């Protein structure tokens, strides 16, 4: 077998492969089609349920059966993606118009997932069957082969409503994402009717009909004036807040009750909201909270926050809007597949695309119906005509040898071989000229059709057929007639399935929260070796001083209104507001510093910690693993940023020690190979934080600084070295940048 080797650039292959992959994800997985508002997995799942006969007026079927059939026939991308799509289409807190009627545990608004597919059941919703799938038998959309070309699947569903607006969509593709809010079905239909009547209607005029998003969780959109540019461009930010009511509680207390939440809060964010409210009390941001409870149920959201007596409820509600996710933003990016490519569309663009699609579907529908009625008319006319000469036809049938001879006589007037009773009959038979379809219908006609009443019914049916043909031709020839048909269908859907608006659209003033000024006081900062930090009052520290000093890695005094500075081995400085740390009892666990800063305990290590106020009074000595050293004025670290580069490092180097220079007179560098170099701190030059520093000790190629020690006036410090204690004060004072002295272990 001859082999042909094709040489090509590896970069070209990678580029082509990635583009093919990206387009597959964009078009065939992540983004909805503007025409039916569905992603491929949703479309295939609904079509499979339609094919399986799982209709709204029939019994439920196991979701495992639906998922398995969909995966085997149309969507070979794993069962989890299909079941997830099925579950979302059944969740009324995620979809403004659920498309699937779920039976069993389909999850809840608080983030609990659905039960396994083997336990749940589903069927189509009535609106899905009537507005999404009803005309599939009329050849209104194109079908294409499935992944293995053994089945046919619709490339788009003949959806009669702008589902992209009604249910919205969220999806992440390659290099792009879509985020479309849901809208009220009745308003969307009215907006589309207005567009059908006047395609030049402006976005502003449409927004007088479709007032804005209508989230299934309700809430209040607070930036009504920003909606016009959002719906014109297809992108922007909608600010939405939860609905809050104030009720009288027990003992003269006030209850703040949250009855509706912002749409972005659904799921695990409800639990995050509860913990954030609790944290407001724990961190002393507010002293108004007496109790908090989540009383939500199937009937709806009900989160009750009990306030203390004389608490300002309005100010507290504003604090919730400012400090928690009770007010959040929904990023709008109306990206969808239009004409086979991703495109960001405004409100008019979406409506135009769907209206054009409706005209295409309606045209194909009535062309199909017209063809059926014309075929029916042909047969009806043949049967009526046959009834008028039924005696002759019976004579032809009785005189013919077979069906073919009788059919030839009926269609072409051939009388050869047929026995007639008279010459007149033969002459009349020769004049017959039925069509092929009419002849077949006559030959298959049953005798009961000759009854008088049956003949009258046939004539009446023929009149109805003629009326239908006239109506269908009018619809196809006159755009105005077709428009009215579409409007009538939209009105019917609106009448049956529209519901009142849930989300309020308004212009609300920004929440103003008057934060009570914290009384400034001294506190003790404690951080253990696991990175858990907290603050306690001075009296609690004095009572537990011995335990606090022994159990914690960093212990120092600071102001509760100040900041704590954390230096790491990677040269970073992280500043943390003392007010962000939990303030409580000595035995409280505290919070990981990872939670209140950008510090990553998995990638770096904290070498030193001190208060910002202390840092401003002194200078800081930095020593690296590769033997570089410098002094930096502490005032350089008094910056607004929460994360700054505290020291510049050479490639492969890291900080070994960070020390605040107070009364230290000498520094002792200890290397891995046991060399010690002691020199005066005054020899270290002062540099900027962006400088690398100067060399402190000459290291052999495979040696490095292992520890840094400082001694003050009159201090006699000994460190363990080998099997003995090494007294640092007895080391000879040398000059910086020496090799040091090898110590005996």
- Give the whole-angstrom CA distance, residue 493 versus residue 501: 16
674 Rama sector, left if φ>0, alpha if ψ -120 to 50, beta otherwise? left
323: tokens are 């400090």
Nearest to 193 by CA among 217, 154, 150, 162: 162
Cα–chain center distance at 224 = 23
Is 396 in contact with 408 (CB distance < 8 Å)?
A: no
Catalytic residue among 119, 263, 359, 448: 119
How far apart CA 146 and CA 168 sit, in angstroms, is 26
Residue 702: count of CB within 10 angstroms of its CB = 7
The distance between the two most distant Cα atoms of the chain, rounded to a whole number of Å, is: 148
**Residue 360 burial (CB < 10 Å; 0-12/13-18/19+)?**
middle
**Cβ 627 vs Cβ 655: under 8 Å:** no
In what helix (H) or strand (E) does residue 437 lie, and over which residues does it extend?
helix 436-444
Q: List the one residue out of 172, 164, 146, 151 whose CA is nearest residue 77.
A: 146
Backbone φ and ψ for 247, nearest 5 degrees, come out as: -125, 155
Strands of 538-588, DSSP E: 554-559, 563-568, 572-577
Q: How far apart are CA 661 and CA 31, in angstroms?
A: 59
Q: Beta-carbon neighbour count of residue 256 at 10 Å?
A: 24
Q: Under a CB-based contact definition with an 8 Å cutoff, are residues 325 and 269 in contact?
A: yes
Structure tokens at 701: 């190629």
3-state SS of 286-347 is: CCCEEEEEECCECCECCEEEEECCCCCHHHHHHHHHHHCCCEEEEEEECEEEECCEEEECCH
89, 32 Cβ separation under 8 angstroms: no
Establish whether 60 is a catalytic residue: no
Q: Rounded CA gap, 269 and 330, in Å?
A: 14
Q: Of 173, 138, 597, give the one whose Cα is nearest residue 343.
A: 173
Phi then psi dihedrals of residue 487, to 5 deg: -60, -40
First to last CA, the chain: 74
DSSP string for residues in 345-367: --HHHHHHHHHHHHHHHHHHHHH
Query: E strands within 372-519?
Result: 504-505
- Give helix then strand counts, H and E, for the chain: 21, 35
- Continuous segment of H or E residues that includes residue 42: helix 40-51
Q: How far apart are CA 338 and CA 586, in angstroms?
A: 62
What is the four-CA torsion angle of 281, 285, 288, 289, rounded to 10 degrees?
Answer: -20
Q: Are 540 and 584 in contact (CB under 8 A)?
A: no
The H or E element containing residue 235 is strand 235-241
Could you give the residue numbers annotated as active site? 119
């Amino acid at each position: 077998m001859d082999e042909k080797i094709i040489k090509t650039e590896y970069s070209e292959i990678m580029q082509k492969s990635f583009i093919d992959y990206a387009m597959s994800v964009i078009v065939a997985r992540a983004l909805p089609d503007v025409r039916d508002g569905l992603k491929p997995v949703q479309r295939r799942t609904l079509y499979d349920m339609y094919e399986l006969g799982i209709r709204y007026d029939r019994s439920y079927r196991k979701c495992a059966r639906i998922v398995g059939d969909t995966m085997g026939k149309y969507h070979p991308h794993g069962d989890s993606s299909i079941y997830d799509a099925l579950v979302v289409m059944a969740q009324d807190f995620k979809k403004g118009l659920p498309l699937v009627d779920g039976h069993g545990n389909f999850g809840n608004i608080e983030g609990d997932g659905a039960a396994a597919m083997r336990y749940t059941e589903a069927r189509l919703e009535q609106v899905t069957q009537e507005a999404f799938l009803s005309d599939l038998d009329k050849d209104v959309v194109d079908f294409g082969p499935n992944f293995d070309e053994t089945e046919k699947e619709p490339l788009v569903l003949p959806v009669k409503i702008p589902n992209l607006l009604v249910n919205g969509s969220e999806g992440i593709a390659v290099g792009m994402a879509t985020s479309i809010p849901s809208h009220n079905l009745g308003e969307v239909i009215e907006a589309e009717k207005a567009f059908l009547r006047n395609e030049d209607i402006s976005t502003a005029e449409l927004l007088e009909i479709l007032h804005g998003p209508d989230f299934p969780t309700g809430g209040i959109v607070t930036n009504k004036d920003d909606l016009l540019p959002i719906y014109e461009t297809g992108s922007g930010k909608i600010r939405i807040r939860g609905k809050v009511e104030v009720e009288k509680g027990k003992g003269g207390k006030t209850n703040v009750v949250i009855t509706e939440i912002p749409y972005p809060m659904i799921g695990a964010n409800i639990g995050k909201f509860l913990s954030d409210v609790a944290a407001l009390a724990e961190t002393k941001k507010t002293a108004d909270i007496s109790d908090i409870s989540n009383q939500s149920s199937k009937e709806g959201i009900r989160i009750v926050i009990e306030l203390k007596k004389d608490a300002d409820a309005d100010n507290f509600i504003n604090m919730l809007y400012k400090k928690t996710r009770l007010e959040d933003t929904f990023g709008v990016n109306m990206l969808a597949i239009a004409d086979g490519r991703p495109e960001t569309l405004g409100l008019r663009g979406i409506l135009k695309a769907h209206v054009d699609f409706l005209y295409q579907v309606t045209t194909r529908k009535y062309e199909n119906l017209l063809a059926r009625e014309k075929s029916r008319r042909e047969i009806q006319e043949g049967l009526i005509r046959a009834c008028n000469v039924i005696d002759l036809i019976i004579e032809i049938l009785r005189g013919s040898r077979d069906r073919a001879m009788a059919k030839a006589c009926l269609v072409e007037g051939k009388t050869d071989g047929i026995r007639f009773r008279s010459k007149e009959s033969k002459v009349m038979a020769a004049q017959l000229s039925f069509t092929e379809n009419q002849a077949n219908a006559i030959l298959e006609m049953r005798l009961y059709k000759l009854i008088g009443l049956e003949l009258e019914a046939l004539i009446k049916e023929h009149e109805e057929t003629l009326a239908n043909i006239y109506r269908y031709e009018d619809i196809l020839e006159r755009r105005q007639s077709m428009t009215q048909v579409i409007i009538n269908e939209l009105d019917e859907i609106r009448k049956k399935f529209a519901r009142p608006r849930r989300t309020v659209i308004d212009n609300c003033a920004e929440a103003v929260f008057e934060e009570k000024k914290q009384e400034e006081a001294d506190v003790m900062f404690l951080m253990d070796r696991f990175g858990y930090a907290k603050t306690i009052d001075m009296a609690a520290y004095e009572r537990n001083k011995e335990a606090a000093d022994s159990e914690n890695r960093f212990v120092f005094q600071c102001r509760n209104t100040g900041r704590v500075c954390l230096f790491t081995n990677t040269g970073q400085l992280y500043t943390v507001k003392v007010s962000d740390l939990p303030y409580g009892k000595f035995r409280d666990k505290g919070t990981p510093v990872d939670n209140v800063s950008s510090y990553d305990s998995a990638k770096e290590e904290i070498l030193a910690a001190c208060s910002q106020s202390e840092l401003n009074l002194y200078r800081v000595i930095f020593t690296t693993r590769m033997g570089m050293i410098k002094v930096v004025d502490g005032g350089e670290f008094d910056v607004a940023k929460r994360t700054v580069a505290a020291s510049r490092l050479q490639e492969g180097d890291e900080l070994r020690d960070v020390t605040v220079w107070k009364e230290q007179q000498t520094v002792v560098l200890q290397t891995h190979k046991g060399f010690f170099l002691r020199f005066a701190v005054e020899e270290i030059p002062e540099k900027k934080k962006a400088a690398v520093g100067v060399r402190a000790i000459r290291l052999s190629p495979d040696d490095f600084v292992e520890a840094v020690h400082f001694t003050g006036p009159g201090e006699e410090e000994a460190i363990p070295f080998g099997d003995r204690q090494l007294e640092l004060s007895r080391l000879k004072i040398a000059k910086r940048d020496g090799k040091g002295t090898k110590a005996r272990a």
